[in-house]
Structure 1
Amino acid sequence: MDMTEVADRLAIAETLALYCRGIDRCDAALLAAVFTPDARIDYGDGATSPAETIPSLMAGLGAMRLTQHNITNTVIRFIGDASAKAETNCVALHIIPAPEGEIELVVGGRYLDRLVKREDRWRIAERLYVMDWNRSGPATMQQEGGLFDGLRRHGGRGPDDPSAAWWEAS
């Protein structure tokens, strides 16, 4: 493995992490930046473009109190100098308001991505999501009380999340 491949692997990992950040912070612009404009995105209900997928994602995410997407175990195979395939495991937590109380949905799956390097940047050109398992039930997650009650900096969505100001500071 030469230094170019190492740099490309790190850049691909950054693209995948930025996708998760875009989802969890409800940042449509960031999500658009990780996909090519002509990408095909298929979460299991048919392939659509980023222009179609991202507004739908934002609407769905907006109905949830929080999400946290954690990615692990990424396997990358290069197909030439400017194309690669990646398989990445993901476990995602979703807290969904409901009349009877919040629902906690945890999903385990994999992202099967085809990435391309354009203008020195790796972006997702095709994404297939494979769900391996899911679990749902009454939410037990809490941000107040409990063992960590003394922690006062809590995550949020959009510009109210503490990371927004942190990234903007010099």
Structure 2
Amino acid sequence: MSDRLADIHAIREVVALYCRGVDRLDLELVRQAYHSDGIDHHTGFDGTVDEFVPWLAKSLEFLVGTMHFIGNHHVDFVGDDVAISETYLMATHWGKPEQEQTNFTTGARYVDHMERRGGRWAIAERWAVREWTRPDVFVAPERPGPRGRRDADDPLSVLLKRFGL
């Protein structure tokens, strides 16, 4: 059973890695979440990971930021090295104030065909299933303080670099 718990944890880490990559605009992290021959099905996209990453970069370039919250997560194993992972999430997207159409939150599920290859769990095929979307209105921060960034000056990036990670 402990091996299965380690597998579940590793699979959940793949999902978290993907979300961090999107939110920090670190497309190499996004790519790492997939096997090299991985397939993705998103709203407006179907194709290989090599096609998905540039499509995602273009989709995110007009946004100021995104934030993914991972919720319920369940894994069904199909043998030792294949699993079906379902992850509930909410993802908020925001652009500049004049770009109202870019400000929305969506409820979705990642339905992932995961495989362990060479000891590494990663996405073989993903369906990003959108359940609902609602428009959002964003306001300026109420006070000065730390803000998320999508570059090397983000507090997480600074801290990771400080410790050589």
* Alignment TM-score, normalising by the size of structure 2: 0.92
Identity %: 31
Find the residue that maps to 2:46 and give its secondary structure.
Answer: coil
Cα distance between partner residues in 1 of 2:118 and 2:139: 42
Give the deviation of 1:46 after TM superposition: 4.8
Structure 2: any 5+ residue segments left out of the alignment? none
What residue identity is the alignment partner of 2:153? D
Cα distance between partner residues in 1 of 2:100 and 2:112: 35
Cα distance between partner residues in 2 of 1:44 and 1:52: 14
Asked whether the equivalents of residues 31 and 53 of structure 2 are also in contact (C-alpha less than 8 Å), the reply is: yes
Give the deviation of 1:34 after TM superposition: 0.6
Is residue 2:147 matched to residue 1:154? yes
Counterpart mapping for 1:1-170 below 5 A:
2-97=1-96, 99=98, 103-137=102-136, 139-142=137-140, 144-145=141-142, 149=143, 152-170=145-163
Find the residue that maps to 1:140 and give its secondary structure.
Answer: coil
Asked whether the equivalents of residues 94 and 104 of structure 2 are also in contact (C-alpha less than 8 Å), the reply is: yes
Give the deviation of 1:141 after TM superposition: 4.0
Give the deviation of 1:67 after TM superposition: 0.4
Cα distance between partner residues in 2 of 1:157 and 1:46: 23
Give the deviation of 1:103 after TM superposition: 4.7
Structure 1: any 5+ residue segments left out of the alignment? none
Give the deviation of 1:100 after TM superposition: 6.0
Moved runs in structure 1, 4+ residues, more than 6 A?
Answer: none
What residue identity is the alignment partner of 1:140? F
Cα distance between partner residues in 2 of 1:116 and 1:103: 34
Find the residue that maps to 2:43 and give its secondary structure.
Answer: coil
Find the residue that maps to 1:89 and give its secondary structure.
Answer: strand
What residue identity is the alignment partner of 2:158? A
